[in-house]
Amino acid sequence: MAKRVHQPREDAEFDFILRMSGVPVLAYFIGTWPKAIEPCRAMDLVVGDVADEYTGRLTVVRTDITRCPAATTRYGVTGAPSYVLLKESEAVAHSEGPMTIAEVRDLLDGHL
């Protein structure tokens, strides 16, 4: 995982990152149950590349659904991997399932 990707350990840390970001946030929600592990791991490289590519314009937060249940509920996440693009803590785009880097760019570029 890229150094530019934040990994909060709890909801309070997730919320702190949102408040301090100053730029839009891509919250990348992962699951740790058996059927979610492989798809989420496969997306780690894509998300890491996105974090590097959008440095200074986007904060990327890799969010474990079980560690941040309030954030998961607040943004309507029902599966993993899921992506929620946030501006000033408000969701402006949402997608679920594995994505290519081009698909992630499309999600972001329509809203950044």
Q: What is the pLDDT of residues 33-92, one digit of tens each?
A: 999 999 999 899 999 999 999 999 999 999 999 999 999 999 999 999 999 999 999 999
Instruction: Find where tokens 């999600």 sit.
Output: 107
Yes or no: is domain 5-106 CATH 3.30.230.10?
Answer: no
**Whether the Cβ atoms of residue 48 and residue 58 lie closer than 8 Å to each other:** no
- Cα-Cα end-to-end distance for the chain: 23
The three-state (H, E, C) secondary structure of 18-30, written as one string? HHHHCCCEEEEEE
Coil vs helix vs strand at 91: strand
User: pTM of the entire structure?
Assistant: 0.93
